């Protein structure tokens, strides 16, 4: 069972809906609506994790004694990963 179907099925376990007979077709319809949203959230999370790793790399570079600091390439890559206006659709800036 995928996460979207699991969430849709759990709705019938809530106190306010537990007295309603579960309709598998309706649960699947909800799951079909949830699935793209969950996929977008997963993509957004991955983009944020990638950006966080790059920023950590820049911070280590800055903190290193004797290092000239981050390169313009490091900063450019870190800043290039930005979420689009729609949550969960990460894209490269300018792309």
The per-residue pLDDT for range 51-80, each reduced to its tens digit, is: 888 887 777 766 664 556 556 666 666 566
> 3-state DSSP call for residue 59?
helix
Q: What is the pLDDT of residue 86?
A: 45
Q: What is the pLDDT of residue 68?
A: 63
* Residues near 89 by beta carbon (within 8 Å), at least 6 away in sequence: 40, 43, 44, 83
The per-residue pLDDT for range 14-58, each reduced to its tens digit, is: 999 889 998 999 999 999 999 999 999 999 999 888 888 888 777
* Residues near 3 by beta carbon (within 8 Å), at least 6 away in sequence: 34, 38
Q: What is the pLDDT of residue 1?
A: 75
Cα distance from N-terminal residue to C-terminal residue, the chain: 35
Q: Is the pLDDT of residue 93 over 50?
A: no
Q: What is the DSSP letter of 21?
A: P
* Residues near 37 by beta carbon (within 8 Å), at least 6 away in sequence: 88
């Amino acid at each position: 069972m995928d996460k979207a179907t699991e969430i849709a099925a759990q709705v019938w376990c809530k106190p306010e809906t537990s007295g309603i007979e579960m309709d598998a077709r309706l649960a699947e319809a909800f799951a079909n609506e949830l699935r793209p949203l969950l996929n977008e959230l997963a993509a957004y999370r991955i983009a944020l994790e990638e950006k966080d790793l790059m920023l950590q790399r820049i911070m280590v570079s800055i903190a290193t004694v004797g290092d000239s600091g981050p390169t313009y390439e490091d900063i450019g890559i870190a800043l290039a990963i930005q979420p689009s206006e729609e949550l969960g659709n990460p894209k490269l800036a300018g792309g």
